Amino acid sequence: MTIQIITLFPEMFEGVLNTSMLRKAQEKKLVDYGLINLRDYGIGPRKQVDDTPYGGGDGMVLRPEPLVVAIEDARSKVSNQESEVILLTPRGAVFTQADARELAKCSSLILVCGRYEGYDERVAKFVNRQVSIGDYVLTGGELPAMVVADAVTRLIPGVLGGETSAELESFSDGVAKEHPHYTRPEQFRDLKVPEVLISGNHEAIADWRKKHSV
């Protein structure tokens, strides 16, 4: 899968995409992340990407041309594939595990990060969906894009190892929240590991885990 991210702040992604599972997913060639700097598509010598809002008001609004040309360029980089273009915005539909599963089946995702006070609404015509990660407002779409990239990448077969992803898929009705986990020591302060987990009774352990999954 290819995940291209259009952002004014590509440096924000370096740590997240190059650590732990997301790094391993790249090393295993299961995912290829591409960072596209929106500034490169800015207008004029000052590479302007934003302007004042029509109708007045505070703040700046991202102009449509840099965003749309960046999207078109990203699409053309993977022109042999159908791209799903996702605009991260607090006005979008709230992102769910079912969405992550659906997106994990795509071969090309393009995540578009909004910034500043907003983006020119005409950009919406050039994307397939608008996604919010929750009912709160962040300073931009970068953290939401990282959330989507993480949630999708871990569902690509082979990233976590077949067992875990198969287990997640087996829950048909939304989110599979695993049972609680314990490791050594058996007693920490006055807190003990549930007896059943050290019983060696595999059937009882499986029952306990099932009961404690959400």
10 Å CB burial of residue 164 (0-12, 13-18, 19+) is middle
Q: How far apart, in whole angstroms, are the C-alpha atoms of residue 165 and residue 44? A: 47
86 is an interface residue for ligand ADE by CB under 6 A: no
Choose, by CB under 6 A, the member of 12, 50, 90, 165 that binds ligand ADE: 90
State the minimum distance, in angstroms, from the CB of residue 144 to ligand ADE. Answer: 4
State the minimum distance, in angstroms, from the CB of residue 147 to ligand ADE. Answer: 8
- CB contact set of 30 (below 8 Å; sequence gap of 6+): 1, 153, 156, 157, 158, 159
Contact indicator for 7, 142 with CB cutoff of 8 Å: yes
Measured from the CB atom, is 135 or 163 closer to ligand ADE?
Answer: 135
**Token couple for 176:** 């599979």
114 is an interface residue for ligand ADE by CB under 6 A: yes
Contact indicator for 180, 213 with CB cutoff of 8 Å: no
Helices 20-27 and 142-153: crossing angle in degrees, nearest 10, is 60
Measured from the CB atom, is 66 or 141 closer to ligand ADE?
Answer: 141
141 is an interface residue for ligand ADE by CB under 6 A: yes
Measured from the CB atom, is 30 or 138 closer to ligand ADE?
Answer: 138
10 is an interface residue for ligand ADE by CB under 6 A: no
138 is an interface residue for ligand ADE by CB under 6 A: yes
Q: Which residues bind ligand ADE (CB under 6 A)?
A: 88-90, 114, 132-134, 136-138, 140-141, 144
